[in-house]
Chain A
Amino acid sequence: MLHQPSNRVSILHPLRVALVGAPNVGKSALFNRLTGRYVTVSNYPGTSIEVARGSGMLDGAAVELLDTPGMYSLLPSTEEEAVTRRVIMEGGADVLVHVVDAKNLPRMLSLTLQLAEIGRPLVVALNMMDEARRLGIQVDVTRLAARLGVAVVPIVAVSGEGVDALRAMVVAAARGPSTGTPVYGNGVGTALKSLRGTLAGVYPVDPAAVAALLLQGDDEARAWVRAAEPDGGRGAVEAAERLAARFGAPAPYRVAVERQRAAEEIADGVVSAPRTRGARWVEWLGRALARPATGIPALLLVLYLGLYLFVGRLGGGTLVDWLERTVFGRGLNPFFERLFAGIPSDAVRSLFVGEYGMLTLGLRYAVAIILPIVGAFFLFFSVLEDSGYFPRLALLVDRVFKKLGLSGRAVIPLVLGFACDTMATMVTRTLETRRERVLATLLLALAIPCSAQLGVILAVFAGQPLAFGVWVLALLATFALVGAIGARILPGAPASFYMEMPPLRRPRLGNVLIKTYTRMQWYFLEVLPLFLLASVLMWAGQRTGVFAALVAALQPVVSALGLPAETAGVFLFGFFRRDYGAAGLYEMSRSGALDQIQLAVVGVTLTLFVPCVAQFLMMIKERGTKTAVGMLAFITPFAFGAGYLVNLVLRALR
């Protein structure tokens, strides 16, 4: 599987052995077993990352051992990974011991291949063999070693099983040849070989590893090349850019896919796990959730059960009813009214109690309407999150998203948008291309309702199937239409998506409750002061007549949509806080002020309507003032136009 081995390593100092691997694979347990009492833990120079060093004897040879921070890939995404990479790429280790979790071998081999590219002697320590055996997992160690071309030693670091054999293998590996370079297919291998050929400088590791990082656009690799090459690295950097451009997809994506393919080929037939009925079922379910034929019906079922029944009916119906009618209607509001009854000034009294009172309106909106709905939504969201469903959803929608100029990766901000659009807008910066970032920002502002707005709208539409159906169709059509048009007119390359699929798992109650509580606490602390402030603004607007003037100004617009005058207030405060506007809509629907058509019109318009102030500020920050204002200028008439169209069509069909 690996290319021809290169030169031997000459050692003029105590053998330096670095333990490398993902977090939680038992590196530290192995480090403690291999080292003596004298261990030093210090920050890696210039960072806050701790690296432990110790000394010991391996098979009669004095060694210095390094316990490196956890890493998943040589292309680092954290400072910990960057430190580990520096340790191993800048010549800080003579032998690398890749510590892997025997229970999850196929997921770990991609890093083994990357370590093999470095060209240093490499030993794979197959740790946690006791747990693997207990689970009935068997690893054909001889075949794995033959396929990888390196020594593989099964061990149990905590008990010491196999550690003596590992000691001997590490010393033997140091005396033997270095590992060869893995060979990849589909143009990646050819590109790497060609780029490797352009490197003439002296590097502390095999130039193949430098070439791999350079091809993936790594900045540090460019710096190494600039320092080592006679022409300042210009030729190699240009060659890397030229070769990467030929892929038609981002180079890190292509390299990761080929590396994973090679890892799967190595693991095929090497690892066997018992296929219990339960394990088979989970495996099947994991695949089914990501395939269109089964995944889309499953998604609709999840949305119906979770959003419509649990959030809309239970949270928005039963819980809100109880809090509004019993807790506030019979308890708190009469109490507040009595408490402030003694205040002679009507202006001051109405600031706290009455139609726009901070306590009777602001507090009630926050606690009795928004909190139970958002709480139910966050509980549902946390269950999905803890089960490992979201990555499968990403894979499911990847194909559809590609037509909209997005990749499956965009599922992260779009899913987070259902919790908070402001936060999600910030997360769009993780998307690869500018085109994808702009499209995702626009779709978040336009067609993704935040948790509170979504919950309230679902509660409003409970028992109103026509209005609900129209709302869902309007949002889906807007998402598809705007996305497809945006993908055509916005310049830039289409996005690609690749991610390792974590296992599907049973949600843990403790995790779910902690996540729900944390999200609810954050949301409530943010929302309560704003709701109180909104009440004060409404009170001030009402006392000064400004509110009436603004409502009057919006009057022609709401009339054109076939809506009663009061809905102008809903739109007005929807911009201040989306959920505040939604809570107003909820109250109007409860009082019977809107028929089904009007509900559909106001629901569609309010959801598509301009984002709240916080989201708009975030759009400016992330995409720039020009783009954000441009989006606002598009969204506002689009939302009212869509509402107008819905009203026109539904009234014509009635």
Chain B
Amino acid sequence: MTARPVVCGYCAREFRQDWGQPVCRACPLAGMCHMVRCPHCGYENPTPPAWLSRLTHLVSDDAS
């Protein structure tokens, strides 16, 4: 399954959500924070919890 794309809040480039994970695993806060690092610029982007993603997907145009 392809991971959901994230648009970086800093450089506006798109990347796959799971790209941030290998870096985040090195952090002592990993598991508690919902941040993924943009591989292009290094900015930490918040990723919504799964239930919120599903909800926003349902109400967005992409759902069709």
Interface residues, chain A, with chain B CB atoms under 8 Å away: 22-24, 50, 70, 72, 77-80, 385-386, 388, 390-391, 409, 412-413, 416, 420, 422-423, 426-427, 429-430, 499-500, 502-503, 510, 514-515, 517-519, 521-522, 525-526, 614, 617-618, 621
Chain B residues with CB under 8 Å of A79's CB are: 19
| Residue ID in chain A nearest B33 by CB atoms | A522
Q: Is B41 an interface residue (CB 8 A)?
A: yes
Question: Residue of A at shortest CB range from B19?
Answer: A78
Contact of A499 among B2, B41, B46, B48 (CB under 8 A): B41
Residue of A nearest to B55 (CB): A514
Q: Does the CB pair A77–B28 fall under 8 Å? A: no
**Closest chain A CB from B62 CB (angstroms):** 12
Chain B positions 1 through 18: 1 when the CB is less than 8 Å from some CB of chain A, otherwise 0:
010010001111111100
How many A-B pairs with Cβ below 8 Å? 95
B29 at interface (Cβ–Cβ under 8 A)? Answer: yes
Q: In the complex the two chains form, is B19's CB within 8 Å of A522's CB? A: no
With the chains together, A80 CA to B18 CA distance in Å?
12
Q: How far is the CA of A525 from the CA of B49 in the complex (A)?
A: 13
Asked if A618 contacts B27 (CB within 8 A), the reply is yes
Q: Which listed residue (A502, A510, A525, A526) contacts B56, Cβ 8 A?
A: A510
Least Cβ–Cβ distance between B60 and chain A, in angstroms:
9
What is the CA–CA distance of A429 and B12 in the complex, to the nearest angstrom?
20
Closest 5 CB pairs of A and B: A430-B42, A502-B12, A518-B46, A23-B14, A385-B9
B residues sitting closer than 8 Å to A (CB atoms) are 2, 5, 9-16, 19, 23, 26-29, 32-35, 37, 39-44, 46-49, 52, 56
**Across the interface, do A78 and B29 meet the contact criterion of CB distance under 8 Å?**
no
Contact B9 A521 (CB under 8 A): no
Overall SS of chain A's interface: helix
Taking the closest CB of chain B, its distance from the CB of A59, in whole angstroms, is: 32
How many angstroms between the C-alpha atoms of A621 and B28 in the bound complex?
A: 10
Q: Look across to chain A and name the residue whose beta carbon is closest to the beta carbon of B52.
A: A514
Residues of chain B lying within 8 A (CB to CB) of residue A517:
48, 52
Decide if A416 touches B34 in the complex (CB within 8 Å): no
Bound: A237/B35 CA distance, A: 38
Q: Do residues B33 and A78 form an inter-chain contact, with CB atoms below 8 A?
A: no
Instruction: Determine which of B14, B26, B43, B46 lies in contact with A519 in the assembled complex, contact meaning CB atoms within 8 Å.
Output: B46
B35: chain A residues at CB < 8 Å are: 423, 522
Residues from chain A with a CB closer than 8 A to the CB of B13 are 23, 72
Q: Which residue of A lies closest to B5 (CB)?
A: A23
Contact A78 B42 (CB under 8 A): no
Closest chain A CB from B51 CB (angstroms): 11
CB distance from A578 to the nearest CB of B (A): 14
B44 and A427: CB pair below 8 A?
Answer: yes
List 12 A-B residue pairs with CB atoms under 8 Å apart, sorted by A's residue number. A23-B5, A388-B12, A416-B44, A420-B29, A427-B44, A429-B42, A499-B11, A503-B12, A517-B52, A522-B33, A522-B35, A522-B46
Q: State whether A427 and B2 are in contact (beta carbons under 8 Å apart), knowing that A23-B14, A412-B42 are contacts in the complex.
A: no
Report the minimum CB–CB distance from A131 to chain B (whole Å).
15
For A518, give its contact among B15, B40, B47 (CB under 8 Å): B47
The smallest C-beta distance from B48 to any residue of chain A, in angstroms, reads 5
**Are A515's CB and B16's CB within 8 A?**
no
A416 to B12, CA, bound (A): 16
Name A76's closest neighbour in chain B (CB-CB). Answer: B39
For residue B34, which residues in chain A have a CB less than 8 angstroms away from its CB?
518, 521-522
Query: Chain A: which residue is nearest B9 at the CB level?
Result: A385
CA distance A366 to B43 in the complex (A): 27
In the complex, A224→B28 CA distance in Å? 38
Question: Once the chains are docked, how many angstroms separate the CA of A388 from the CA of B11?
Answer: 8
A385-B10, A423-B33, A518-B48 known, 18 other contacts, Cβ within 8 Å: A22-B14, A77-B39, A78-B16, A78-B40, A391-B11, A412-B43, A422-B28, A423-B27, A427-B37, A499-B11, A500-B11, A514-B46, A514-B48, A515-B9, A521-B49, A522-B32, A526-B29, A614-B29
Kindly identify which residue among A78, A409, A617 contacts B39, using a CB–CB cutoff of 8 Å: A78
